[in-house]
Amino acid sequence: MFRKILIANRGEIALRVIRACREMGIRSVIAHSEADRDSLPVRMADERICIGPGASSKSYLNIPNIISAAFISNAEAIHPGYGFLSENTSFAEICNDVKITFIGPSASVMSVMGDKVSARKAMAEAGLPMLPGTPVVRTLPEAKEAAREIGFPLMLKAVAGGGGRGIRLIQQPEEFDRIFTIAQNEVREAFRDDGIYFERYLARARHIEIQVLVDQYGHGVHLGERNCSCQRRNQKVLEESPSPHLSPELRQEIGTKAIRAVQQVGYRNAGTLEFLLDEQDRYYFMEMNTRLQVEHPVTELVTSVDLVKEQIRIAAGLPMQLQQEDIQFRGHAIECRITAEDASADFRPQTGTVERYLPPGGPGVRVDSHLFAGYEVPPHYDSLLSKLVVWAETRNEAIARMQRALDEYVIEGLETTIPFHQRLLSHEGFIRGETYTRFLQDEAEALGI
271-303: pLDDT as tens digits:
999 999 999 999 999 999 999 999 999 999 999
> How is residue 134 annotated by DSSP?
-
Range 367-379 burial, b when 16+ CB lie within 10 A, else e: bbbbbeeebebee
Decide if 94 contacts 63 (C-beta within 8 A): yes
Nearest Cα neighbor of 164 from 186, 148, 133, 143 is: 186
Q: Is the pLDDT reported for residue 163 higher than 80?
A: no
Alpha carbons 188 and 305: distance in angstroms, whole number: 38
Q: How confident is the model at residue 233 (pLDDT cuts 50, 70, 90)?
A: confident
What is the reported pLDDT for 165?
77
Which pLDDT score, from 0 to 100, does residue 192 have?
80
Query: How high is the pLDDT of residue 115?
Result: 86
With a pLDDT cut of 70, the percent of the chain lying above it is 99
Query: 255 or 187: whose pLDDT is higher?
Result: 255
CA separation for the pair 238, 402 (Å, rounded): 11
Q: Within 134-283, where are the H helices? A: 140-150, 176-191, 248-264
What pLDDT is attached to residue 260? 97
Q: Is the pLDDT of residue 108 over 90?
A: yes
Per DSSP, the three-state class of 226 is strand
- As annotated, the active-site residues are 291
Q: Is the pLDDT of residue 77 over 80?
A: yes
Confidence of residue 380 (pLDDT cuts 50, 70, 90): very high
pLDDT by residue (tens digit) across 38-49?
999 999 999 999
Which of 322, 393, 327, 409 has the alpha carbon at shortest distance from 361?
409
Report the 10 Å Cβ neighbour count for 349: 15
Give residue 89's pLDDT band: very low, low, confident or very high (50, 70, 90): very high
What's the chain's average pLDDT?
A: 95
Model pLDDT for residues 170-225, shown as the tens digit of each residue: 999 999 999 999 999 988 888 888 899 999 999 899 999 999 999 999 999 999 99
Task: Show the beta-strand stretches assigned E in 149-298.
Answer: 154-158, 168-170, 196-200, 206-214, 220-232, 235-241, 269-277, 283-289
| Structure-derived torsion over alpha carbons of residues 334, 249, 256, 133, reported in degrees to the nearest 10 | -80
Res 316 pLDDT > 90: yes
Beta-carbon count within 10 A of 138 CB: 13
Report whether pLDDT(11) > 90: yes
User: Residue 224 is which amino acid?
Assistant: G
